[in-house]
Amino acid sequence: MFHSTRSRAAWGAALAAVLLTAGCGGSDDASADAADYDPDAPVTLTVGTFGTMDFDNAGLYEEYMELHPNVTIEQNNVAQSAAYYKSLQTRLAAGSGLDDIQALEIGFIADVVANHADAFVDFAAEENADELESNFYDWKWGQATTQDGQTIGLGTDSGPQAMCYRKDLFQQAGLPTDRTEVGELWPTWDAYLDVAREYKTTTGNPILDSPASIFSSSVYQGDEAYNDEDGNPIPEESSGVERAWGFASQAAEEGLTANLSQFGDEWNAAFSNGAFATIACPAWMLGYINSQMGDAGAGLWDIAPLPGSSESASNWGGSFLGVPADGDNVEAAKDLAEWLTAPEQQIKLFTETAHFPSSPTAADDPQVKDAVNEYFSGAPTGEIFGAAAEGIRRTPIGPYDTQIQEAFTTALTDIASNGTDPDEAFQDAIKASEQAIGG
């Protein structure tokens, strides 16, 4: 989930929270509703959002209402995604009170897809389905699509990842600071760990914020992460988990990370006090770093590719817009959802509020592709994150990904903080994962 510079700090806590969704049956009167739809009739459309999705801040609601004078848009925003979930769950269970459009967060889109698809309009069944699908990266469209082909949400933003690094700290450690040369230091995660060891030997300090930064970034670079192709959780058998655990547990065991809890107070302060020199960063993280360091951080940071990204990139974040199938204004809501997520609007969201597109058409537009970030030493962010987005694999996701990842993150913390044996910690993570999924 991307968010505007104005409220990135507040959104940090929201990222740590989770969004679940529950479903209810779709309407049998969809065809009749479509036949009766008058696109010029006065209508008020409500949009349920969480965090800072920035449709309002980018002026998109205002623009749509100017283009459609008969439409009034009212946004119902909840800052914390957990609170948003509770409200949405209650309303779905009651079968009333839903907004005409509901935002759905990436962390639990798999739950909606697997268990509650009938609660939402199927965009894959629309007459313009082929056009809609072509607007999005195949992995983004696939994340909101059931095994039988229903697509229950249209993508808003995405979170392709790179590696942000402190140039001043690299210079002090005798490491290169040019982003091309830095990227050449770590073509793989093994190479990155070698750099981390060199950095610690030279400076006495850890290079990375948290072992979770390695694990959560590298786990999705495999053919599978937490689930098999049918969405069944398989953390103990997953080659992606095994690979990511190997890298992250080495870093934790050797003290190569600051072992900070991401989005905690100490982690926030560490951006300014130099407690770490690199951080795996999705596109939206740039604004978060800016918000923590302010003007004092301008020009200190730069961006290089994520280790291993030449073979497979990684994604962290992103949301979707779903239209409840039993809503009072389904046809008008579909029109608005399609417009808000169209490439043209994704370009505006990027240029106005730095949300990276989930549309390859938008990402290839010069306004995105040629974008640079002066705060990050003029890094070509459009090029860097665009290349990452192109390289993301369509890794199967499941309803329990967040809980499983939390189990492994906790186990990695135990290694770093308590000296727990990595093999023992791995088994602890498996047990916690099984408990989370009811196994």
Q: What is the pLDDT of residue 18?
A: 34
The answer on pLDDT for 10 being more than 90 is no
Alpha-carbon distance of 361 to 344, in angstroms, equals: 9
Alpha-carbon distance of 228 to 428, in angstroms, equals: 21
Amino acid type, 256: L
327: helix, strand or coil = coil
Beta-carbon contacts of 153 under 8 Å, excluding residues fewer than 6 positions away, are 104, 109, 112, 120, 123, 144, 320, 321, 322
Say which DSSP state 187 is in.
Answer: S
Alpha-carbon distance of 367 to 380, in angstroms, equals: 12
Alpha-carbon distance of 312 to 244, in angstroms, equals: 13
The answer on pLDDT for 121 being more than 90 is yes
Burial 411-431 (b: 16+ CB within 10 A, else e): bbbbbbeeebebeebbebbbe
Q: Across the chain, what does the average pLDDT equal?
A: 90
Torsion region of 255: left, alpha or beta (phi above 0 gives left; psi -120 to 50 gives alpha): left
Note the pTM of the prediction, 2 decimals: 0.88
Q: What is the pLDDT of residue 439?
A: 57
Residue indicated by tokens 């300014």: 272
Amino acid type, 186: W
In three-state form (DSSP H/G/I as H, E/B as E, the rest C), the secondary structure along 78-138 is: ECCHHHHHHHHHHHHHHCCCCCCEEEEEHHHHHHHHHHCHHHECCHHHCCCHHHHHHCCCH
Lowest pLDDT segment from 20-34, 44-58, 190-204, 380-394 = 20-34
Domains of the chain plus CATH, in order, are 5-156+316-363 (3.40.190.10), 161-314+374-436 (3.40.190.10)
Would you list the DSSP string of 28-88?
TTHHHHHHH--TTS-EEEEEEEES---TTTTTHHHHHHHH-TTEEEEEEEESSHHHHHHHH
The answer on pLDDT for 12 being more than 50 is no
Give the pLDDT band (50/70/90) at residue 290.
very high
- Do 159 and 171 meet the contact criterion of CB atoms below 8 Å apart? no
Alpha-carbon distance of 192 to 211, in angstroms, equals: 13
- Do 249 and 426 meet the contact criterion of CB atoms below 8 Å apart? yes
Alpha-carbon distance of 376 to 299, in angstroms, equals: 6
Alpha-carbon distance of 163 to 307, in angstroms, equals: 8
Beta-carbon contacts of 388 under 8 Å, excluding residues fewer than 6 positions away, are 160, 161, 162, 305, 306, 309, 313, 314
310: helix, strand or coil = coil
- pLDDT, tens digit (0-9, with 9 covering 90-100), for 214-232: 999 999 998 899 999 888 9
Lowest pLDDT segment from 100-114, 284-298, 319-333 = 100-114
The answer on pLDDT for 16 being more than 50 is no
- Do 123 and 325 meet the contact criterion of CB atoms below 8 Å apart? no
Q: What is the pLDDT of residue 1?
A: 39
Give the pLDDT band (50/70/90) at residue 110.
confident
Lowest pLDDT segment from 24-28, 166-170, 325-329, 426-430 = 24-28
Longest dimension (CA), the chain: 72
Give the pLDDT band (50/70/90) at residue 30.
low
- Do 184 and 217 meet the contact criterion of CB atoms below 8 Å apart? no
The answer on pLDDT for 15 being more than 50 is no
Nearest by Cα to 57 from 294, 334, 350, 282? 350
Side-chain-side CA neighbours of 109 within 13 Å: the count stands at 29
Lowest pLDDT segment from 135-139, 174-178, 391-395 = 391-395
Q: What is the pLDDT of residue 22?
A: 32
- Torsions phi, psi of 30, nearest 5? -60, -45
